[in-house]
Amino acid sequence: MRVVVCAAFEAGEQFAHAINTVKMAQGFARLGHEVTIVCRRGPTGRAAPQHLALTYGLTEPLRWTQLPYWAGQNWLFALGSLPILLRTAPDLVFARNYTLPWLSSRMGMPTVAESHAHVDNRSAPFMRLVYATRYPAFRLWVTISQFLADHYQSLGVPGGKLIVLPDAVDLALFQTPAELPPSPYTDDRPVVTYTGHLYDYKGIPTVLEAAALLPEVSFDLVGGLPKDLERQRARIEQMGLHNVTLHGLRAHGEVPPFLWHADALLLPPSAHHPSAAWTSPLKVGEYLASGRPVVATSIPALRDWLSEREVNFVPPDHAAAMAEGIITVLRDHDYARSLVQAGLEKAQTLSYRHRAARVLERLSA
C-alpha cells in the first residue's frame, strides 16, 4: 500500500508533533507499506535523508519530499502537497494538518487526520477539518484522549470516525540494548532524568524545587529551546542549585542513552494547565521502554493510560511529594524492579508499529 504522510513541520524539527508524525510514518513502513513523508524544508534548506534518519533514529527507508520553507501551515502547505498526492495516487493520506485533509478527502482520496487540538480552538482552519469529516473519503480522525474525542464529537465529528490512541514509542530505538553505550553523565550521585521541553506547565518549577530538597541527587534535564534554557538556568542560579544540569536540546536519536544510564525518570506535568486533562507525552512510552523506574504526577491524562503498577504516582505541583517519590524508587529496589517490569510490558502495547496497525485495522473494519 502507498501511504503519504503529510505535516507542515520543518525537516529535522524536534517538537513532539514532528517526532510523532515521522514515527507514525515509520510505523506504516514497518508494516511493509511504501511511505512518503511530505513536510517543509528548514530555513537553511533541504535536509539530507541520511541526516534525517540519524536525527529521528529511523531504521526503515522513507521517502522525503520537502516543500519550500515558506509553504506555511495551512493553504500554502496543502496546495503544495496536492501535486505530490495527485502524482503518487496514494492508497492512504495520513495528515497532521488542518487544511490538507479537507482538500484530499473532498477530492475522494482516502484520508486519515491526526489532531490533538485544544478544546478552545475555534480557528477557521481547525473548523475546516471538522467539516471535512462529512466527506465519505475522510475515514478517520486520530487523537490521544477520550476527553478530546468527546469534545470533537460535540462539534460535529461523527463518533464512528474517531479513534483514541496514546502517543507511542519506537521500541527499536528506546529498548535497552545488550551492551550499553558510554554514559552521558559524569556525576557520582544517583541520577534522576527528565527529557522534553522546559515549559513551566511541564512541571519544571516543581522539579527544581524537588532538587533543592535532594542535594544528594543529580537532576539532569535533557531538552529545551534556547529561551527556555535561559529562563530555567536563571532560576537555577537564583535558587543556588548545584545538582541540576541542563543538557539542552538533543536529536531524538541521541536521547536513549540519557534514559538507560539514569537511576530514575521524571514525568512531572503540572495540574495547572488545561492539557492535564488530555496530554499524552511521547516520553511515556520512551520511559517505560527504557527499563528505568518512573516517578509521575497524578494528573487525569496520565491516569488514563498508566496505573500504579507501571509508575510511582505523586501529587502534581508538590515538590516534597516528588522528592519523596524519587527517594522511594532509589532506595526500594524491589519496588523499583516491579515498576520496571510492569512498565516494559506496557511499552510493548505502545509501539508505533502497533499504533499504525490499529489505524489500518479500524479502516479495514
pLDDT of residue 120: 93
- The predicted pLDDT at position 60 comes to 87
Residue 206 grid coordinates: 516543581
pLDDT in tens, 128-172: 999 999 999 999 999 999 999 999 999 999 999 999 999 999 999
* CATH number given to 171-347: 3.40.50.2000
The whole-number pLDDT of residue 64 equals 97
Distance CA 140, CA 114 (A): 8
pLDDT for the residue 197: 95
CA distances from 364 to 52, 230, 358, 359, 360 (A): 31, 49, 10, 9, 6
Q: Looking at residue 40, what is its pLDDT?
A: 96
Grid cell in block for residue 270: 503540572
Mean pLDDT score of the chain, rounded to an integer? 96
- Has residue 72 got a pLDDT over 90? no
Query: What's the pLDDT score for residue 6?
Result: 97
Q: Where are the domains of the chain?
A: 2-168+351-364, 171-347
- For residues 289 and 132, the answer to whether their CB atoms sit within 8 Å is no
- pLDDT reported for residue 140: 98
Tell me the C-alpha distance between 19 and 256, whole Å.
Answer: 14
Written as nine digits, the cell of 105 is 478527502
Sign of CA dihedral 227, 230, 236, 239: negative
* Integer Cα distance of 348 and 108 in angstroms: 35
Burial class (CB in 10 A: 0-12, 13-18, 19+), 127: middle
Strand partners, 163: 142
Sign of CA dihedral 299, 300, 305, 307: positive
Give residue-wise pLDDT tens across range 27-69.
Answer: 999 999 999 999 999 999 999 999 999 999 998 889 999 999 9
Domain 171-347 in the same topology as domain 2-168+351-364? yes
- Bridge partners for 51 per DSSP: none
Alpha-carbon dihedral angle through residues 169, 173, 179, 183, given to the nearest 10 degrees = -90
- The answer to whether 266 and 194 have CB atoms below 8 angstroms apart is yes
Residues 6+ apart with CB under 8 A from 155: 127, 130
How do residues 169-227 score in pLDDT, each as one tens digit?
999 999 999 999 999 999 899 999 999 999 999 999 999 999 999 999 999 999 999 99
Pseudo-torsion of CA 343, 264, 333, 168, nearest 10°?
0
Task: Express as a percent the part of the chain with pLDDT over 70.
Answer: 100
The size of the chain, in residues, is 365
Residues 68 and 45: their CA atoms lie apart, in Å, by 8
Residue among 157, 3, 6, 5 at smallest CA distance from 76: 6
| CB atoms closer than 10 angstroms to residue 312 | 22
DSSP secondary structure of 231-263: HHHHHHHHHT-SSEEEEE---GGGSHHHHHT-S
Strand residues in 255-361 grouped as ranges (E): 264-267, 294-297, 312-314
Domain 2-168+351-364 sits in CATH at 3.40.50.2000
Residue 73 has pLDDT above 90, yes or no: no
- In the sheet with 218-222, reading across from the earlier edge strand, the strands are 244-248, 218-222, 191-195, 264-267, 294-297, 312-314
